[in-house]
Structure 1
């Protein structure tokens, strides 16, 4: 018997599954470390906005939304509710779509 026949078949990933693979819940965020002190307030706001946009983009990609055109504000806010973060602003929703566009 060939060695390839003895290997177990891997579980389908999002890219090989016939339908969307559900998010693994419950979502457990990584441990947070304190941000560096002494920066302007605008830096902290934009930093946290970028982190939130990345989390939302990953959640959307995991749920089967691959194109920025599919990610309307309502879809992004539903993903935020699903992973347990505050609803994003219109600016953050725009940033999520931009991240999805540049990841291709």
Structure 2
């Protein structure tokens, strides 16, 4: 018997599943490290905004939202509630759509 026949079939992904795959909640947060000191406050604000937008973009992609025009502010805020982060501002929602646009 070939070795490939013994391997179990992988679970379906969003692209191969017959129905949308439900969003998995993050298993365990990454260990936080302190940010570098001595930068202007604006750098820290934009850095944290980018991290939040990236998390939200990944959550939306996992839930089946692939196009930026499908990600309205309300949908992004529902995803934020699902993954347990504070509701994003309009600026962060815009950044989420930009991440989705440039990931293609």
- CA shift for structure 1 position 26: 5.5
Task: Indicate the RMSD between aligned Cα atoms, in angstroms.
Answer: 1.3
Deviating 4+ runs (over 2 angstroms): 1-7, 25-28
User: Unpaired segments of 5 or more residues in structure 1?
Assistant: none
Mapped to 2, the partners of 1:100 and 1:91 lie a distance apart of 14
> Which consecutive unaligned segments of at least 5 residues does structure 2 have?
none
Q: How far off its partner does 1:14 sit? A: 1.4
In the alignment, the residues of structure 1 paired with residue 78 and residue 89 of structure 2 have an alpha-carbon distance, to the nearest angstrom, of 13
Shift of the 27–73 alpha-carbon distance from structure 1 to 2, 3 Å rule, reads farther
Aligned pairs, how many? 104
Q: Following superposition of structure 1 onto structure 2, how do residues 73-92 of structure 1 map, counting pairs within 5 Å?
A: 73-92=73-92
Normalising to structure 2: TM-score of the pair? 0.93
**TM-score (normalised: structure 1):** 0.93
